[in-house]
Amino acid sequence: MRQHSFLPAFLLLITAFTAGAGPLQCPRLPSGAIIRPENRYYDVLPRVVPADRESTIEIVPLHGHVQFSESCSYELTYTPMITLPQQGGWAPGTKQALVPENGRFRITALFEGEQEHSFIITATCGDKKTTLGDFRVYSLGADLYALRPYKGDFHMHSNRSDGVESPAYVAGACRRAGLHFMALSDHRCYDGSIEAQNAFAGLPVDLRIYPGEEVHSPDNPVHIVNFGGNAGVTELYKEDETQYREQVAALIESLPPTTPEINRFQYAACKWVVDRIHERGGLAMLAHPYWVTGNRNNVDEALLDAFFETGVFDCLELISGDSREGILKNDINGLQIARYEQERAKGRRIPVCGISDTHGVERSEAFGRYYTVCFAPSVELADLIAAIKDLRSVAVECAVGDIERAYGPYRLVRYTHFLLREVLPQHDELCFEEGRLMIRHAAGDASATAKLALLQGQTAALYNRYWAPVATP
């Protein structure tokens, strides 16, 4: 009997430890992020401060079980994460007694360099010493400090092409997963993205919904995403394929000879698509070049060489989502990253994006977990596109069961690690109810609008609290 009852219980235990990924006491959000207990029990304000200046941060207990007591003594241990102090800032391991003022701690320090700072606080009450938490703050150079991180996905499919859900449903799910902005990129269809916009036009919704499409011009196997263009490119060759072929032929004439010889039609067709996207104010992204289709990678190697040499595309889809599993289950993202590093080693500038390429948000492991973070002055389309072109973006992936990974310029990756742990989880959690209500609105729930109005502005307010206002000199 004991044998029989032991085995299922054992299996249950194994399942419990493997299914959730990560500590069981910290449930993951749809984005894959975890809010650390310190960040649930306390506010740390601000979270981000200007580098090489003195700033004051406050650690504020939010709940009865973490209130500071006058009968306890408190000690802070400070550690700058990567740069040693040069201008008189605190050295690693500096300890300082803390006394609560109005129930909170105020810590004034010189935040040297662009880096993360750790403040571990312990409490001694009688003969019992406990660690209250490891509180983190990031200091930034003035250029990056003036910007904010905005998360988005602009390579996704709805049922207007081969996806599962309606455009409105996908948009709502994007907010539910914590995105600031999104665009649908249905195959050969710009209208799906407009339908997503129209579904929430005039409603109190903070998600920015932009237009997009995935362009597949005739006899050109390269997939190109038009993000944000003010009209579709697909209709141009659909309405007049003769003109498309004449214009591509003219482009071929102007191409210099290449070694090895490339498929000149395919190169010129890509250039034609990119030019049309630019005429429409959009960003032209080279989608999943190493996707495996028909038993080979989507883009011929010589053609890819030419793309990088000429910089014809605005950005590279560095982290791809749903299409990452080819026929042989190749890790296409591994290839894209290796290629990116190789091109950068040649001194090339390669703007990067991460996207989910979801074809069904409720069944995709990449949706909400593969995205781009743009560092921009605002979430307006022009600012986002400028950020990507100006190398101010990173690609993020948080595969199920794995930790979050960011790819892109080193400086931004380091900062993104902090954001993914200390800032964005709180943001994602606020977004969840907004996204759920957007989906309810799409289902015809007339009460959703009034509820959304109550939530509007909450994520912007969070950012305003987390970034210290800079006093004008």
Where along the sequence are the contacts to Zn ion (CB under 5 A)? 214, 223, 287, 357
Provide the 10 A C-beta neighbour count for residue 412: 21
- The CA-CA-CA angle for residues 442, 444, 450, to 5°, reads 85
* Spatial distance between the Cα atoms of 303 and 277, rounded to a whole number of angstroms: 20
**DSSP 3-state of 181:** strand
Closer residue to Zn ion in complex, CB, 300/357: 357
Question: What would you report as the CA-atom Rg of the chain, rounded to the nearest whole angstrom?
Answer: 25
Closer residue to Zn ion in complex, CB, 355/387: 355
Closer residue to Zn ion in complex, CB, 366/420: 366
Q: Are strands 283-286 and 315-319 parallel, antiparallel or unpaired?
A: parallel
Beta carbon of residue 340, minimum distance to Zn ion (angstroms, whole number)? 18
Beta carbon of residue 152, minimum distance to Zn ion (angstroms, whole number)? 15
Closer residue to Zn ion in complex, CB, 214/434: 214
Distances (CA, A) of 162 to 175, 214, 230, 357: 22, 12, 23, 11
Beta carbon of residue 297, minimum distance to Zn ion (angstroms, whole number)? 13
Closer residue to Zn ion in complex, CB, 320/393: 320
Does residue 454 contact residue 35 with C-beta atoms inside 8 Å? no
Beta carbon of residue 289, minimum distance to Zn ion (angstroms, whole number)? 10
Assess whether the previous peptide bond of 27 is cis (omega < 30° from 0).
Answer: no
Distances (CA, A) of 118 to 69, 111, 343, 421, 454: 23, 11, 35, 13, 35
| Tokens describing residue 373 | 């973070």
Does residue 187 contact residue 157 with C-beta atoms inside 8 Å? yes
* Spatial distance between the Cα atoms of 109 and 241, rounded to a whole number of angstroms: 65
Beta carbon of residue 332, minimum distance to Zn ion (angstroms, whole number)? 11
Beta carbon of residue 155, minimum distance to Zn ion (angstroms, whole number)? 5
Beta carbon of residue 326, minimum distance to Zn ion (angstroms, whole number)? 12
| Tokens describing residue 470 | 């800079």
Beta carbon of residue 355, minimum distance to Zn ion (angstroms, whole number)? 8
Please report, as a single letter, which amino acid is at residue 238: K
Closer residue to Zn ion in complex, CB, 51/174: 174
Beta carbon of residue 224, minimum distance to Zn ion (angstroms, whole number)? 9
Closer residue to Zn ion in complex, CB, 177/299: 299
State the chain's maximal CA–CA distance in angstroms.
86
Please name the residues in contact with 468: beta carbons below 8 A apart, sequence gap of 6 or more: 46, 48, 49, 50, 55
Provide the 10 A C-beta neighbour count for residue 156: 35
126 CB burial (10 A radius; 0-12, 13-18, 19+): exposed
Closer residue to Zn ion in complex, CB, 324/405: 324
Q: Is the dihedral of CA 262, 263, 264, 268 positive or negative?
A: negative
Provide the 10 A C-beta neighbour count for residue 293: 13
**CA-closest candidate to residue 83, choices 58, 105, 110:** 110
Helical axes 424-442 vs 458-466, angle rounded to 10°: 170
Beta carbon of residue 163, minimum distance to Zn ion (angstroms, whole number)? 9
Beta carbon of residue 260, minimum distance to Zn ion (angstroms, whole number)? 25
Closer residue to Zn ion in complex, CB, 31/356: 356
Closer residue to Zn ion in complex, CB, 98/285: 285
Measured at CB, which residue is nearest to Zn ion? 223
Q: What are the φ/ψ torsions at residue 82 (nearest 5 degrees)?
A: -140, -25
Closer residue to Zn ion in complex, CB, 165/357: 357
